[in-house]
Amino acid sequence: MKTIFKYLISLFALSAIPMLASAQEIAAPALDAGNTAWIIMASVLVLMMTIPGLALFYGGLVRQKNLLSIIMQCFVTVGVVTLIWFSVGYSLVFADGFQDTKAGFFFGGLDKAFMSGVTLDSLIDGVGIPEILFAVFQCMFAIITPALIIGALAERIKFSGYLLFLPLWCLLVYIPMAYWVWGGGWIGEMGAIDFAGGTVVHINAGISALVMCLMLGKREGYKSHRPVTPNNIPFVFIGAAMLWLGWIGFNAGSGLAADGLAANAFLVTHLATAAAVITWVVIDWIRNKRPTTVGACTGAVAGLVAITPAAGTVGVLGAFVIGIASAMVCFFMVAVVKEKLGYDDSLDAFGVHGMGGIVGSILVGVFATQAVSGEGGVQGALYGDWNQLGVQTVATIFSIIFSAVMTFILFKIVDKLVGMRVSARVEEEGLDIYEHGEAAYN
């Protein structure tokens, strides 16, 4: 009898082995092919926003003699930031080696420097995409952020000065902000919502742009009531259209999954942009007696910027209001405030990206809804939670102060080392010839 009993126990144990193995396989994270394919596509779309989208948009707005300088600055930004990101940037934002140290307040760590420990099989929990791909996607955000600043410096900054300022700003301004918001830092832990870059990208770049343009000074002959005539408005349109298209990857990809949240982000991004375009055109028509192509394109960018932090938490109502509000505020800053105060924000990097980012970041605290964020998710003041509005305001104010102070310091350092502004003769003749030895049109 004992022999039979032992036999049955052994048989049961052997039969349980495949069941245990199967359970382990189920528990192990698995690659999600759908999510992976979508984030690959989203990464391509976000890269397209900088080259050629932003390069054409900004390049078309400047004078012909400075078109190539804009393209060169955008193009080189891609190379410089990519090298920084995959050497130390990704690790400083998303690693945790500095935890429990003083440096841990500003940075994550260096344990993933040069992608150390990140293998082909490393996956992001919950979405099943390769960590390598996540790093690539985040790299595209790191690229476009300093590229936006170029719009305030156009037609008067030394290429050498920009090349030195760029890595310093990326390391000491962008990376800490990204860590605080997305990498486990205090802003994210506070509960601030920045779905795709309202504080990290647009406020950060826009405020830095304002500081830079004030410190550089006005372009020679600049008059605030007489805007510089764009050299190629079709370039402006093509660039804006590419930005609109690429922003789908920027926002809808930020949930890291091909799901309902991505679909909603796509929807509200498109809605807010459409609302901003029409609002800007109407205001332009009423104030200046005719609607302009450049105005419509600028309105589109304003709407895209403002919906960015809110795309993961607002619905259709929020998208409409954010789009309309961003166009009204940004138009006022570009057409009224800049003219009254006389600062030379060449291509309105502050007026559109800085102010649009502020509008979107604050209005998250008004229009966020659990219909999008899910049960137990964030709600805005419109739905009874005024606390979120306070949190968004704190995050926004801190972002403004940090970006302004750090940019001021870095500008002073670089200006002392290599100089930031070209000579009057170079500015008069054009940066393309003097800085790069080329002409856009021969």
Each residue of 363-403: pLDDT tens digit? 999 999 999 999 888 999 999 999 999 999 999 999 999 99
**Residue 289: φ, ψ to 5°:** 75, -5
**261-298 pLDDT, tens digit each:** 999 999 999 999 999 999 999 999 999 999 999 999 99
Q: Quickly tell me which residue has 């770049």 as its tokens.
A: 205
Q: Tell me the pLDDT band of 16, cut-offs 50, 70 and 90.
A: very low
Averaged confidence pLDDT in the chain: 93
217: left (phi over 0), alpha (psi -120 to 50) or beta: left
* Across 43-68, average pLDDT: 97
Please report the pLDDT score of residue 292 as a whole number: 96
Q: pTM score > 0.85 for this model?
A: yes
**Residue 127: φ, ψ to 5°:** -120, -15
Residue 153 located in a structural domain: yes
CA nearest neighbour of 202 among 364, 335, 25, 83: 364
Q: Which two tokens stand for residue 168?
A: 């310093």
DSSP state of 421: B
Residue 391 located in a structural domain: yes
**318-334 pLDDT, tens digit each:** 999 999 999 999 999 99
Domain tally, the chain: 1
* Across 174-187, average pLDDT: 97
Residue 25 located in a structural domain: no
- Own/partner contacts of 277-280, CB < 8 Å, gap of 24 or more, are 277/303, 277/327, 279/323, 279/324, 279/327, 279/328, 280/327, 280/330, 280/331
Residue 386 located in a structural domain: yes
Residue 4 located in a structural domain: no
Task: Provide Rg for the chain, Cα atoms.
Answer: 24
pLDDT over 80 (residue 11): no
Question: Is the CB of residue 138 less than 8 Å from the CB of residue 199?
Answer: no
CA atoms of 426 and 409, how far apart (whole Å):
26
CA atoms of 182 and 118, how far apart (whole Å):
19
Q: Tell me the pLDDT band of 9, cut-offs 50, 70 and 90.
A: very low
CA atoms of 246 and 257, how far apart (whole Å):
17
* Across 411-431, average pLDDT: 95
Residue 280 located in a structural domain: yes
* Across 146-152, average pLDDT: 96
Please report the pLDDT score of residue 121 as a whole number: 94
Q: Give the domain range for residue 247.
A: 34-436
**91-109 pLDDT, tens digit each:** 999 999 998 899 999 999 9
Please give the C-alpha separations between residue 81 and each of 58, 86, 334, in angstroms, as whole numbers: 19, 9, 29
User: Bridge-partner residues for 129, per DSSP?
Assistant: 124
Residue 17 located in a structural domain: no
CA nearest neighbour of 54 among 167, 146, 163: 146
Question: Is the CB of residue 48 less than 8 Å from the CB of residue 78?
Answer: no
% of the chain at pLDDT higher than 70: 94
Please report the pLDDT score of residue 28 as a whole number: 61
pLDDT over 70 (residue 4): no
Q: Which two tokens stand for residue 410?
A: 């870095």
Q: Quickly tell me which residue has 């092919």 as its tokens.
A: 33
**341-360 pLDDT, tens digit each:** 999 999 999 999 999 999 99
Please give the C-alpha separations between residue 354 and each of 33, 106, 199, 301, 399, in angstroms, as whole numbers: 37, 23, 9, 12, 11
Residue 9 located in a structural domain: no
**203-218 pLDDT, tens digit each:** 999 999 999 999 999 9
Please report the pLDDT score of residue 52 as a whole number: 95
Helix 233-252 with 260-288: angle, nearest 10 deg: 150
Please report the pLDDT score of residue 338 as a whole number: 93
pLDDT over 90 (residue 1): no
Amino acid occupying residue 432: D
Helix, strand, or coil here: 226? strand
**224-250 pLDDT, tens digit each:** 778 889 999 999 999 999 999 999 999
* Across 169-196, average pLDDT: 96
Please report the pLDDT score of residue 27 as a whole number: 53
Q: Which two tokens stand for residue 105?
A: 């307040």
Residue 189 CB: number of other CB atoms within 10 A? Answer: 10
Please report the pLDDT score of residue 224 as a whole number: 77
What CATH number has the domain bearing residue 247?
Answer: 1.10.3430.10
101: left (phi over 0), alpha (psi -120 to 50) or beta: beta
Helix 33-48 with 131-153: angle, nearest 10 deg: 20
Helix, strand, or coil here: 157? strand
CA nearest neighbour of 404 among 342, 363, 350: 350
Q: Which two tokens stand for residue 131?
A: 């960590």
Please report the pLDDT score of residue 126 as a whole number: 92
pLDDT over 50 (residue 20): no
